[in-house]
Amino acid sequence: MAWDFSTEPEFQKKLDWVERFCREQVEPLDLVFPYAVRSKDPKLKALVKDLQDQVKEQGLWALFLDEDLGGPGFGQLKLGLLNEILGRYGSAPQIFGAGAPDTGNMEMLAAYGTDDQKERWLTPMLNQELWSAYSMTEPQGGSDPNLFTTHAVKDGDEWVINGEKWFTSAGRVADLLFVMCTNGMFVVPRKTPGVEIMPEPRNHNHIVYTDVRVPADHLLGPEDGAKVLAQRRLGGGRIHHAMRTISQCTLAFDMMCERALSRESHGKIIGDHQMVQEKIADSYASIRMLRLFVLETAWKIDNTSTQEARTDIAAVKFTMAKVLREVSFNALHILGSLGTTNLTPLQAMYASAPTMGIADGVDEVHKATVARNVLKGYRPHEGFWPTEYLPAKRAAARERFEPMFAADPELRDRADAYAKYLATKG
């Protein structure tokens, strides 16, 4: 029977390399030049390229992509183990060619792009010569795609796009915008006339598309296929976020434990106070549960598909936000006043927890999806009583014993005695 939580020794060697590389080389870059991965400064680009070349030499570049789509094809479970390390370091995803929002866009291109589209956009995106953003949410509402109105109209050899998008992360600096229209997913170069980026918000952009003309071959996937492409993109993205969230929670947990052993109060180290112990124990269990859930979901995706694992992906999505909220709060609290400053990563981590419950779909919508899908596996009971109504179950069980009771009346007496005892208990 295959039921094994161990890591293959060969892959463990890769994980060890990644861990060492991130600690010794990525973290120092993060601390001194946190913006280096997107910088156009040749000196910073050279620093980044040196690290990226080392990643490529290890065969770890674009590790989110399956082999047939141009990546190393680790699958989601192994990617989960890798992301558990990368998630601790801000620029690690880009150093490994696996940074959002580009990853999801590349996944769509790899899965649905024509050869020409792949050559034009996917290859340069894989080489980080082109950056992209994903324009789906609209100002009038993000949770319900049926409210989206951005639309493309065919005009000769071109599509003409009109609409308004909200919270397109990194839209301002992207070369390509993947625009979800009611009738298809379109690739729009940001500099196309008619694309107007509003001054606010600064990082997640409000973009107005007015009579934006793109050639016919900028439609990605089939006409009217936007929702299918979006699901593929977001499903993968959500599980990858969850993988990286485990490492954020683990970082908070490490800090909490170190502090618990380092401070004294009222005659003992704070780790000996029961209320601190409770926070440590609860956080430990929550992280273990989240990790198992994420890895099991990754394993399910590998063995079925993102679509078939969608209930668990949705459940993982809101669970990670909850665990990050709890664990980062506990850690921040145990670090006391220092925890409330920006002198450790905790304040930013705790502040990011509500965001985690909104980005990639709000928790409520994912919870509704889970409940709806789970309920499809159940049926209403017949008559008044639930299936587990004990008097009815006991009566049915007694029926099964009738042939034995007929052959052995003393056995029936014992059953009757127990039934009488139950009746007296009400």
Write down the least CB distance from residue 321 to ligand FAD, Å. 11
Q: Name the site residues for ligand FAD (rule: CB under 6 A).
A: 101, 134-137, 141-143, 167-169, 204, 355, 358-359, 361-362, 364-365, 368
Write down the least CB distance from residue 349 to ligand FAD, Å. 14
Cβ(71)–Cβ(122) under 8 Å? no
- Distance in angstroms (rounded) separating the CA atoms of residues 425 and 401: 23
Write down the least CB distance from residue 369 to ligand FAD, Å. 10
- Distance in angstroms (rounded) separating the CA atoms of residues 106 and 132: 9
Quick one: CA dihedral 371, 375, 376, 377, positive or negative?
A: positive
DSSP string over 44-65: HHHHHHHHHHHHHHTT-TTTTS
- Distance in angstroms (rounded) separating the CA atoms of residues 379 and 162: 45
Write down the least CB distance from residue 397 to ligand FAD, Å. 43
Judged by beta carbon, residue 168 or residue 248, the one nearer ligand FAD is 168
Spatial CA neighbour of 294 closest among 338, 364, 343, 240? 240
Judged by beta carbon, residue 85 or residue 177, the one nearer ligand FAD is 177
Judged by beta carbon, residue 131 or residue 253, the one nearer ligand FAD is 131
Write down the least CB distance from residue 57 to ligand FAD, Å. 31
Judged by beta carbon, residue 58 or residue 169, the one nearer ligand FAD is 169
Q: Enumerate residues 6+ apart whose C-beta is below 8 A from 344.
A: 255, 335, 338
State how far the alpha carbon of 70 is from the alpha carbons of 67, 75, 240, 381, in Å. 5, 13, 18, 50
Judged by beta carbon, residue 207 or residue 249, the one nearer ligand FAD is 207
- Structure letter (DSSP) for residue 187: E
- Distance in angstroms (rounded) separating the CA atoms of residues 106 and 88: 23
- Closest chain position to ligand FAD (CB): 142
Judged by beta carbon, residue 271 or residue 361, the one nearer ligand FAD is 361
Judged by beta carbon, residue 204 or residue 333, the one nearer ligand FAD is 204
Write down the least CB distance from residue 210 to ligand FAD, Å. 18
Write down the least CB distance from residue 86 to ligand FAD, Å. 18
- Distance in angstroms (rounded) separating the CA atoms of residues 139 and 148: 9
